[in-house]
Chains A and B, each alone.
Chain A
């Protein structure tokens, strides 16, 4: 199985990046996880020509070629970081590779709550009709006190949290398999590859 793990921040030091690196290494036998960075993307500004800049296109291609996507998000001000929101806006406004794509959300934060509010927002965002991602229900992986969570070799120090992540990841792989069956049987094919918020004026209220 081939997955893309998106680091939800542009910070040079990030425990969410560490979390994805941990997953990449520990689940290497079950799946290939490519880690994608969003720090090089331009800021979304609703350009009139609606073409994806090269960096956005590259991310989009990476997502399109994958069986599923893992978002690792920090929490900034009770929500996802602007830079992650910007990446999602680009994808929703130009190439829309997340349509029917299985998604797992994880998050790490230095506080005790472990990005609970940001994850709730991200879920709502990814379910917006412009994106139509299939976010895995029931599972919420929250890693609090993340600055102390890893040892120098990049391992999760807490065995319970490591086991929880392994269970969640197994569930996600089953979810990817399941959605592959549903989506191939689904007769609805999203035709509109270029979404714009103004198009709702043309008759469809998304």
Chain B
């Protein structure tokens, strides 16, 4: 029989350690006891999951392999030590190795109590549902006055004490056999048939149809029409597959799609129950804890790409087009990264195409304003282009002086707008603007990227030219179909069809180098197996770090503060992995202090489309005191900083008439959000103010002032650009908003060939980067629609450079 003994303290000197060591020797003939120490166990923190760290994994694997566990606990403050509590919390959080495991409690203390109170607490703790250990009842072994209990050889002095320990341990060995027998699986019988059930998915109801035979779950069919394409697809494939393969409901939810995963599991549980069986029996059929597999997967390829979003898949497709091998590694179960969350249109100046569309009011004015910019404010490297653009604009304005005219655009306008849009100064007075050569490459080759995507299989809607949110100009090429997913829907099949290898749930741990050249990497696969990749080039396309708040806070030099609980509009995968990998081999970083926020996001989820989203002329923004604090027409940066200065949380005030202009919601959704406390509604402003903990007099004055500005057509306080409706008709609404992280501007320093540069400005042999992982292009602020232009352009360039440098392919 094999047991694990846990020393319940991290103290250097411990009589409990001595007690376990004594038991180890004394019972050596009956059982093997391996002693585990707590000294290296980190303090449990649910916000910083370390279940996969080597120290926690050692506990998990060893406990899993053992027949039982013996815990020796001291008593601190009438309870168990925090160090022991901490490991139990880790072992009841994501992983549950103690579930059903026989446990014996012993304890030693200085006082006569011998840890009596701590042992009672420990029993209750081990009984908690997340732990669910099988603790042996009775046989309480309390060693009081431990400092006098052992002799110099570490033997217990008292024969009576040893006799009692012998009897406790003999009972524990019997108990272990008993519990093991108890844990043997029970047969499950179903009333055969097909059961229709409705589970809850991310976007609401998820109708499912589950077919059961006498003793098996045969099939699971799900109507997925209500779920967002691309994000949860993998949950609909994999969860049913795992349930059927294992005939179990103990399957793990999929990262990034946990609501949907649990929805599917609960749906099957409902069907099982309707068929007269107990779903808990199926939940007990635990999959064995995934131990790292000894086997190492060793792969040799031409190019390995880290990250399967738009940039990574583009690079992979390009390598395949040149007839070379490629491997794409993605840490999440689903491909698509942030690209599937993108709004859809990508920027590329295509004057011939844009010429067919009429200009709209205001556009000429915008162009004229550009020609009036003082040249002294334009940085030297952009000056020749700026002057050339002025010439183009003047010619256009002269040509169309007496007519409405067509939609003007040029590569130079795209370039100068990207430059002007990205110009920022941080809190330390550091100025930043897009690096000229990179912006030139982006704007010169964006249209080529559109044409390339068309060849891959992306259909663009040529009948309209759109302006993505925050883009400044109408040059958006909008794909047909489902927004950002449309790109992935074309790229992924292209890669797999042309022999590209795609491994999901495979996290890159480190890059490998030989004599300074990056020649592969080491990753960890879904079953914790080691994956070693040898390649001639590594392309990092792993995205930014908007989902890594600690990293944002560490580098931030632009915002006066970033809240600990800030949300993000990004995929949770965006944690800066590629930046860490790049710097580990000496890469330089650029612009890391700058990030882009989405000011009007849901405070709890980061989503944009909750509450009442109305046109900006109907926005009335008030802070937590009930006062307006900003021109509602301000840029994203202005709104965000104003929100931060006012405590981040603010409200959009609306009345019943303004509500009618909301483009994102329905009455049912509004009622549901009011009930859930995520949207506020009241029949009077006084009541609304009370719900929001505001002084009613302040909010009422704010609204009255605002209404008078609407009447006067002028806002003397914040100079709001345009007005529409007053706030007058009950009921009144308040939608809570907070800035959320949207795009991280900084990243690895690259050159125009997407080579990653080291701190001396030299290219790191074998390493390339594309997309949000790289910095320098968008500088302090990215125009809407430019990130898609970036990933498809630099994704192609990174692959092209890798082919040329490392694989001597010159034509592609």
Contacts and interface: CB of A to CB of B under 8 A. Distances in A.
Interface of A: 9-13, 25, 39, 43-46, 48, 76-83, 85-86, 88-89, 92, 117, 121, 124-128, 130-131, 148, 150-155, 157, 197-198, 200-201, 205-206
B44 A81 contact: yes
Contact of A152 (B9, B131, B603): B603
Contact of B693 (A86, A126, A155): A155
B110 A200 contact: yes
Interface in B559-578: 564-565
B330 interface: no
Nearest to B132: A77
A150 B691 CA distance: 11
Contacts of A25: 693
Given A85-B82, A88-B77, A130-B76, 4 more contacts: A45-B10, A45-B83, A78-B128, A197-B75
Interface string B128-146: 1011000000000000010
A88 B678 CA distance: 36
Contacts of A10: 43, 45, 47
Contacts of B78: 124-125, 127-128
A48 B76 contact: no
14 contacts: A43-B82, A43-B86, A44-B82, A76-B44, A77-B131, A79-B125, A81-B44, A82-B89, A85-B85, A86-B43, A117-B124, A124-B78, A124-B121, A197-B111
Nearest to A22: B693
Taking each of B9, B83, B109, B549, which has the highest tally of chain A beta carbons within 10 Å of its own beta carbon? B83
A151 B691 contact: yes
A155 to B, nearest CB: 7
A124 to B, nearest CB: 5
Contacts of B92: 76-77
A89 B76 contact: yes
Contact of A13 (B10, B42, B47, B88): B47
A79 B121 contact: yes
Contacts of A153: 624, 680, 691-693, 736
A203 B624 CA distance: 59
For the complex, would chain A's binding face be called helix, strand, loop or mixed by DSSP majority?
A: loop
Given A83-B44, A83-B45, A155-B693, A128 B124 contact: no
A206 B110 CA distance: 10
Nearest to B39: A45
Given A46-B11, A77-B131, A85-B82, A197 B109 contact: yes
A78 B693 contact: no
Interface string B56-89: 0000000000000000001111111111011011
A10 B46 CA distance: 8
B656 interface: no
Contact of B10 (A43, A48, A77, A128): A43
Contacts of B147: 198, 201
> Sorted from nearest, which 6 A-B pairs have the closest CB atoms?
A151-B677, A86-B82, A82-B86, A82-B85, A152-B736, A85-B82
A157 B549 CA distance: 29
Nearest to B88: A77
A147 to B, nearest CB: 10
B81 A89 contact: yes
Interface of B: 9-12, 39, 42-47, 74-83, 85-86, 88-89, 92, 109-112, 117, 121, 124-128, 130-131, 145, 147, 549, 564-565, 603-604, 624, 649, 676-680, 691-693, 736
Contacts of B88: 77, 82
Contact of A82 (B82, B549, B692, B693): B82
B11 to A, nearest CB: 4
Given A12-B564, A128-B77, A83 B111 contact: no
Contact of B46 (A11, A48, A88, A201): A11
A118 to B, nearest CB: 10
A154 B693 contact: yes
B79 A197 contact: no
B43 to A, nearest CB: 5
B74 A197 contact: yes
What does DSSP make chain B's interface, helix, strand, loop or mixed? loop
Question: Which of B79, B124, B692: most chain A Cβ within 10 A?
Answer: B79
A154 B77 CA distance: 34
A77 B693 contact: no
Given A10-B47, A11-B46, A79 B691 contact: no
A78 B133 CA distance: 13
B15 to A, nearest CB: 10
Contact of B44 (A78, A82, A92): A82
Nearest to A149: B677
Contact of B127 (A78, A83, A128): A78
Nearest to A147: B604
Contacts of B603: 152
A153 to B, nearest CB: 5
B208 to A, nearest CB: 26
B680 A82 contact: no
Contacts of B131: 77
A154 B649 CA distance: 11
Contact of A46 (B10, B117, B128): B10
A82 B11 CA distance: 15
Nearest to B45: A10
Given A10-B43, A45-B83, A77 B128 contact: yes
A11 B45 contact: yes
A3 to B, nearest CB: 20
Contacts of B10: 43, 45-46
A43 B83 contact: yes
Nearest to A205: B111
Nearest to A199: B110
A200 B89 CA distance: 30
B47 A12 contact: yes
A77 B121 CA distance: 10
Contacts of A200: 110-111
B732 to A, nearest CB: 14
A10 to B, nearest CB: 5
Contacts of A39: 45
The listed residue with most A CB atoms (<10 A of its CB), out of B76, B604, B736, is B76
B676 A78 contact: no
Nearest to A77: B128
B76 A82 contact: no
A69 to B, nearest CB: 15
Contacts of B679: 152
B69 to A, nearest CB: 15
Contacts of B693: 25, 153-155
B152 to A, nearest CB: 18
Contacts of A151: 677-678, 680, 691
